[in-house]
Structure 1
Amino acid sequence: MSNQYPQQPQPGWGQQPYGQPPFPPQPPKKTGPGKIIGLGCLGIVGLIVVIGIIGALVSGGSDSKKSSSSNDVKAAVPSKSSKPAGTGKAQSSEPKASPTKAKKTQKKTVVFKVWGTAPAGALGSLDITYGSDSDTRKGTFKNGKFEATLPLNKEAMYYNVMAQLQGSGDINCSVTVDGKTKKGHASGGYNICDAQLSSGLLGGWE
């Protein structure tokens, strides 16, 4: 009789043999503190970069809006040097005369006057002569006055007016040249009222 040990069943494929302990499970890998800190730093740096890019885009957009808005404002406001089309030639072709030039073009006159009371005598009420050194004229006294004008001649040496009474009366006379006036007076008898302005050395009248 043979001594045979009872046969034990063979382990299947992939199973541990009987009598041997199974392989112990491997512990999970622990993440070191250095790796955690490194990943955190990378995340912060990435976040800063993203914020910087967003800020640059926002600032660039605002600058472009400001420049475009300023350009729009400049375009909307007309320049002072700009002139409406078609108005420059019309203005230059029609110069306006200044008041000083208009005054210069007006001819100056000399004014002669006699006024008062003068009863008529043998030769009339008054004997009136007026004018300049080169132009003497006769005047007529009517209704208590006489007035006449002559164009101013710059070459004249003087302008005067003379009125002689014919026995009685009281009269005044005056001559005005270029804003300057000279007056005279006569009363009673055959007295003469005389007023004269002479051309001065400096061109004025005195």
Structure 2
Amino acid sequence: MSQQYPQQPYPPQQPPPKKTSVGKTVGLGCAGIIGLLLVIGVIGAVASSSGGKDTGASSVKPAATTSKNEQPATEPSKTAKSEPKTEEPKKKTVTFKVWGTAPAGALGGLDITYGSDSDNRKGAFKNGTFTATLPLDDEALFYTVTAQLQGSGDINCSVTVDGHTEKGHASGGYNLCNAQANAGLLGGWG
């Protein structure tokens, strides 16, 4: 006969611990940070491209109130002196320059092009200099001036945008003098 042992109850089993999604949280966090930085950059670019234009919100004046005994102000007479007119702010310009010695070669004189990413023009080198100005376009990505020698010479070139100047130099042969100012991500020129 076999001996039977009394059955012992097994201790109740605990459910396994829940798995946390640390990887998903970290990945979503990195994407969220990158997205936030992208949104901040776009907002900064839009804000800087407005050029500080007055939206009119700050020019609203509260209506004047009068007490029971006061009379409302009347318009000044036509003979009274009017307030001095304020000058409108000057439009910003971009200045392009080329200077130096550049004798005409077999292909003619110095070949100059200048402008922005959306406006390209040709210039003429007279008496050792070239200067041109264009109005500043807030939407432009860059402004550039390029001058190519036609066999010999020594020239310098520059482009000045909003007080910032970029310069270039070329000497001899058919070399190029190039100066370019680029719009910054959040405004400004560099």
TM tier, shorter chain? 0.5 to 0.7
Question: Counterpart in 2 of 1:155?
Answer: 139
Match of 1:198 among 179, 182, 186: 182
Question: Counterpart in 2 of 1:69?
Answer: none
Shift of 1:92: 8.8
Question: Counterpart in 2 of 1:50?
Answer: none
Note the residue ranges of structure 1 that are not aligned, 5 or more in a row.
1-87
Higher helix fraction: Structure 1 or Structure 2? 1
Larger relative contact order (CA 8 Å, sep ≥ 6): 2
Output the TM-score relative to the length of structure 2: 0.56
Q: Does 1:175 align with 2:159?
A: yes
Rounded Cα–Cα distance in structure 1 between residues aligned with 2:188 and 2:177: 23
Give me the identity figure in percent: 70
Q: Deviations over 1:54-103 (max 9, x none)?
A: xxxxxxxxxxxxxxxxxxxxxxxxxxxxxxxxxx76799723345xxx36
Q: Does 1:133 align with 2:117?
A: yes
**Which residues in structure 2 correspond to 1:5-154 (within 5 Å)?**
94-98=82-86, 102=87, 104=89, 106-154=90-138
Rounded Cα–Cα distance in structure 2 between residues aligned with 1:172 and 1:190: 14
Rounded Cα–Cα distance in structure 2 between residues aligned with 1:180 and 1:114: 16
Output the TM-score relative to the length of structure 1: 0.52
Count of residue pairs brought into register by the alignment: 117
Rounded Cα–Cα distance in structure 1 between residues aligned with 2:170 and 2:79: 59
Rounded Cα–Cα distance in structure 2 between residues aligned with 1:135 and 1:204: 20
